[in-house]
């Protein structure tokens, strides 16, 4: 789903309302503010670039090799430029991150000053240096080409007023009369929106390069630690669920069963016309209802069939309880973590429930296979398709449950069907 407000220029360019939004003005501000920065950097590069181009030109056109003094100047100048670039790139990168917010509202954290020595040893620093050279070398060329296109278009727009006594206006051929200039002016006016989009593309390309070059890399060690921490939390949560299940199954459920039995026996001993008969009957019915509710709670934590029959047997039990024919294909080998089995069971349970409630299918199929180190669960049906997580069919909660087990959920449900839910769960312990 496309967000209501685009977060960056490349996204805004795909909107039909781009030309009548604030984005063209933000683009203009971004491009205009680039000119002085790019001009200063280009001037610094020309100190080395101009003598280098002159030497190459003399060698290629006239066969004159550069002198020793020029070679020494180029070598020392290049070394000085490379030595100075990591220092100059730091304030330039800070300015560019601030300017990038004109066309891209996504956060781009600022980089702290790591120290002079660390600055030269950081890979992110040299990405900033590369952006520095790109901004001072390539950007001016692109801006000059775009400026020539703008001037050409403006010349065509104003050509009907420039012909006459002032002499012919040459665009592709001499124009000597206003009648000859008017078609060019009309075409130029029609091209103005195209130039606006070209300006947007130029700014979007520059912003994409800036985001790539100025985004500091994420600490891989920190990411691994977050993943380990998440695994530990999920494992602790699953262990706590199992403890609650055992407490309910072994403690509360037998006592409630005994209470229900005692109330049933008491009902048999009390005459029906006794004043205590009706309250006792109500208490007995409530106890039985509570016992059913408790059994469902225990089943929701970890189904007993999963413990007794294993994943394949528990899934076949779900298939037998479905309202339509369900075929189960299970090719499982080796042990799997409890959280993987539990997640896979509830995936099948929820998916078959969705088939019963929404798909209007006549048959369904469940496949359980091991692919490498993953458990792959596929539930398909021949229903009308069109499943959409946004419509509250339980797929969003199912995806969250799968993500908690470090897996992923894939959905294919075109209008008219069929529907396929595929879940991949890693079985690493």
- pLDDT tens for each residue of 207-239: 999 988 887 654 444 445 544 555 555 565 566
Q: Residue 24 above 80 pLDDT?
A: yes
pTM here? 0.51
Residue 198 banded pLDDT, cuts 50, 70, 90:
very high
Tens of pLDDT along 35-84?
A: 999 888 888 777 766 566 566 666 566 666 666 766 666 667 677 777 78
Q: Residue 86 above 50 pLDDT?
A: yes
Q: How far is CA 378 from the centre of its chain?
A: 24
Whole-number pLDDT of residue 222? 43
Q: Which residues contact 381 (CB under 8 A, 6 or more apart)?
A: 355, 359, 361, 363, 364, 365, 417, 418, 419
Residue 29 banded pLDDT, cuts 50, 70, 90:
very high
Residue 399 banded pLDDT, cuts 50, 70, 90:
confident
Q: How far is CA 304 from the centre of its chain?
A: 38
**pLDDT above 70 as % of the chain:** 74
Whole-number pLDDT of residue 31? 93
Tens of pLDDT along 136-170?
A: 888 899 999 999 999 988 888 888 887 765 555 65
For residues 302 and 317, the model is more confident at 317
Residue 240 banded pLDDT, cuts 50, 70, 90:
low
Whole-number pLDDT of residue 226? 47
**CA–CA separation, 249 vs 298, rounded Å?**
7
Query: DSSP character for 104?
Result: B
Mean residue pLDDT of the chain comes to 77
Q: Residue 33 above 90 pLDDT?
A: yes
Q: In this predicted structure, which of 119-133, 270-284, 372-386 has the lowest mean pLDDT?
A: 270-284
Which residues on adjacent β-strands are paired with residue 377? Answer: 368, 423
Q: Span 288-293, mean pLDDT?
A: 66
**CA–CA separation, 411 vs 390, rounded Å?**
13
**CA–CA separation, 62 vs 80, rounded Å?**
29
Residue 27 banded pLDDT, cuts 50, 70, 90:
very high
Whole-number pLDDT of residue 205? 93
119 contacts 87 by C-beta, under 8 angstroms: yes
Whole-number pLDDT of residue 70? 61
Whole-number pLDDT of residue 199? 93
**CA–CA separation, 43 vs 383, rounded Å?**
67
Q: Span 413-429, mean pLDDT?
A: 80
Residue bearing tokens 């065509």: 156
Residue 252 banded pLDDT, cuts 50, 70, 90:
low
Whole-number pLDDT of residue 231? 56
Helices 178-214/68-100 angle, 10° precision: 90
**CA–CA separation, 81 vs 136, rounded Å?**
13
Tens of pLDDT along 345-374?
A: 888 888 888 888 877 888 899 999 887 778
Q: In this predicted structure, which of 27-36, 111-120, 190-199 has the lowest mean pLDDT?
A: 111-120
Q: In this predicted structure, which of 74-83, 258-267, 298-307, 393-402 has the lowest mean pLDDT?
A: 298-307
Whole-number pLDDT of residue 219? 46
Q: Residue 28 above 90 pLDDT?
A: yes
Query: DSSP character for 66?
Result: P
Closest residue by Cα to residue 340 from 317, 364, 296, 373: 373
Q: Span 100-106, mean pLDDT?
A: 86
């Amino acid at each position: 789903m496309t967000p209501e407000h685009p977060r960056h220029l490349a996204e805004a360019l795909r909107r039909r309302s781009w030309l009548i939004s604030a984005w063209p003005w933000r683009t203009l501000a971004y491009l205009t503010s680039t000119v002085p920065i790019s001009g200063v950097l280009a001037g610094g590069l020309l100190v080395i670039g101009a003598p280098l181009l002159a030497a190459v030109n003399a060698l290629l056109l006239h066969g004159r090799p550069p002198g020793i003094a020029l070679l020494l100047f180029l070598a020392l100048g290049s070394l000085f430029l490379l030595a100075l670039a990591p220092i100059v790139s730091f304030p330039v990168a800070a300015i560019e991150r601030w300017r990038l917010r004109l066309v891209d509202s996504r956060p781009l954290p600022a980089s702290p000053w790591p120290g002079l020595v660390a600055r030269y040893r950081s890979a992110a620093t040299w990405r900033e240096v590369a952006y520095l050279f790109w901004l001072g070398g390539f950007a001016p060329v692109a801006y000059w080409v775009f400026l020539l296109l703008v001037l050409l278009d403006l010349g065509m727009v104003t050509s009907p007023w420039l012909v006459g006594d002032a002499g012919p206006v040459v665009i592709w051929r001499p124009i000597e009369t206003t009648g000859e200039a008017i078609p060019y002016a009309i075409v130029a006016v029609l091209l103005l929106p195209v130039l606006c989009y070209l300006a947007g593309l130029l700014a979007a390309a520059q912003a994409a390069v800036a985001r790539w070059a100025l985004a500091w890399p994420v600490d891989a060690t920190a990411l691994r630690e977050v993943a380990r921490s998440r695994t530990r939390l999920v494992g602790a949560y699953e262990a706590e669920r199992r403890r609650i299940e055992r407490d309910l199954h072994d403690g509360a459920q037998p006592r409630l069963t005994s209470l229900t039995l005692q109330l049933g026996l008491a009902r048999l001993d009390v005459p029906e016309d006794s004043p205590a008969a009706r309250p006792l009957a109500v208490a007995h019915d409530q106890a039985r209802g509570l016992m059913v509710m408790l059994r469902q709670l225990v089943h929701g934590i970890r189904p007993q069939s999963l413990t007794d029959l294993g994943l394949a047997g528990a899934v076949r039990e779900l298939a037998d309880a479905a309202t339509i024919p369900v075929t189960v294909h299970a090719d499982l080998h080796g042990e799997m973590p409890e959280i993987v089995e539990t997640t896979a069971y509830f995936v099948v349970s929820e998916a078959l429930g969705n088939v019963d409630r929404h798909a209007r299918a006549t048959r369904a199929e469940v496949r359980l296979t091991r692919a490498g180190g993953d458990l792959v669960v596929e539930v398909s049906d021949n229903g009308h398709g069109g499943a959409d997580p946004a419509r509250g069919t339980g797929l969003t909660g199912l995806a969250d449950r799968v993500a908690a087990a470090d897996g992923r959920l894939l959905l294919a449900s075109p209008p008219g069907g069929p529907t396929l839910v595929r879940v991949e769960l890693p079985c690493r312990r």
